[in-house]
Amino acid sequence: MYNRRQFFGTIPVGAVALSTVGLVQQTGAQERLAAGERASTLIASPPVVQNPRHNGFGVSIAVRGLATAWVEFGFAENDLPFTAVASHHGLIVADDRALHIRVEHQESLPQNQPIFYRVVVQSLSYANAYTLQRGEPQSTTTYALRLPSPTAERLRLVSINDTHENLETIQALHGEVDKLKPDLMIWNGDSCNDFDMADAPEQILLNPAQDMTMSWASTRPLIFSNGNHDVRGQRAREVAKSFAGCPESAELPYNQALRLGPLALITLDTGEDKPDNHPVFAGTAAFEPYRQRQANWLKRVMEEPDIKDAPFKIVACHIPLRGLPGQNDGTTLEGYASYSGFGAKLWLPILEQADVQAILSGHMHRDRLDAATEETPILQFVGGGPKPEQATLTVVDVVKAGGQQTLDIRIVDLQGKVLHQQHWA
């Protein structure tokens, strides 16, 4: 973390002067946002806020050429005195597709007031190791971000899944998310069909609506839960440039355990829908030991006081952990998983012992609600698919009022019609 004046000391004076003109502070009009972002030819997506913590959050942004980036932030729209940069083993991070900056503050960030921030990018080119050229810094507009509070008395989460690059659906989901005004958003897997060489992972992930004015995670944080299609294709390993994963573990980037008011949210990565030794993977899959490491992690976090003592606990994972009679569990070479038999065997006993109320999943492209049973006392909400007539949002509302705490989970379609619902009090 740097004070802005200190940080700018490392940038040429001319560049500093240029950073204050042209692109910038915006007072709320979408028209100015659109004009500002179009003028920023280096900036190729809205900022995407990720992985909130009490003292920080991450921001990713797509770029159109080799660049560095930093985040200026503060607690008033016209006063951004703090600057965060990303560096690794002494080098400021640079990339030609996507940049991720972790913003951390010396003290806990305010939970009951907005944090104002903007992302600034600056092009970088090398004539040789000692001759570097920098372009004019370019900035996004200033956004007002609210982080979910660990002590919130009212909280809303919205989960979407299986968007598969369907532009019509994605744009409609943006509108519905804006109407619902969640405190936190979950993208529960299968953002893409695959990440082949012709694809641009940073655009699929950071600019999915292909519209710089549609930014579903610039004013609220997003948590990404990996899907089986998100690990396919020769560019799948580039996902980490855009969605950096949780800050605590590079080994388990999609495993998070967050306490949000009366709610504990756990995310798990179900991985592929076939065994690792399936011939289609040509020896490139290692999801079975990865799920075992997640099981070890899950045992630990479920005993952490903030998680263990939460009145309500839910889990988000892409592939369901429970199937319907006769469905394939994905543990043999025949077919593919309708539910994760590997994940179910490792994780369900831990989740049942921890009294988890519900699992949020997708994968099947058909919404449903699996009721709790004596054998498996955890409800399972399965979201819909990529076509507009299939698409759904899973809405989680937690309220603490008076001495009573309630949890409500419902699946709705793009018209807001309730398809499935369960209430706990």
Residues 229 and 318 in one domain: yes
Both 114 and 251 in one domain: the answer is no
Please tell me whether residues 128 and 165 are part of one structural domain: no
Indicate whether 364 and 228 sit together in one domain. yes
Same domain assignment for residues 136 and 171: no
Q: Are residues 246 and 275 both part of a single domain?
A: yes
Residues 16 and 119 in one domain: yes
End residue of a domain, out of 145, 176, 206: 145
154, 158, 137, 147: which is closest to 116 by C-alpha? 147
Q: What is the pLDDT along the chain (425 residues), one digit of tens a residue?
A: 444 333 332 333 233 333 333 333 333 434 444 444 444 589 999 999 999 998 899 999 999 999 999 999 999 999 999 999 999 999 999 999 999 999 998 777 877 789 999 999 999 999 999 999 999 999 999 999 999 988 889 999 999 999 999 999 999 999 999 999 999 999 999 999 999 999 999 999 999 999 999 999 999 999 999 999 999 999 999 999 999 888 888 899 999 999 999 999 999 999 999 999 999 999 999 999 999 999 999 999 999 999 999 999 999 999 999 999 999 999 999 999 999 999 999 999 999 999 999 999 999 999 999 999 998 999 999 999 999 999 999 999 999 988 899 999 999 999 999 999 999 99
Predicted structure pTM score? 0.89
What's the CATH number where 90 sits? 2.60.40
Residue that terminates a domain, selected from 116, 145, 174: 145
Same domain, 169 and 133: no
Give the CATH number, domain containing residue 257: 3.60.21.10
Question: Same domain, yes or no, for 284 and 208?
Answer: yes
Domain range spanning residue 111? 2-145
As for how many domains the chain has, the answer is 2
- The residue among 145, 170, 205 that closes a domain is 145
* 233/89 same-domain check: no
Judgement on whether residues 172 and 295 belong to the same structural domain of the protein: yes
Same domain, yes or no, for 185 and 323? yes
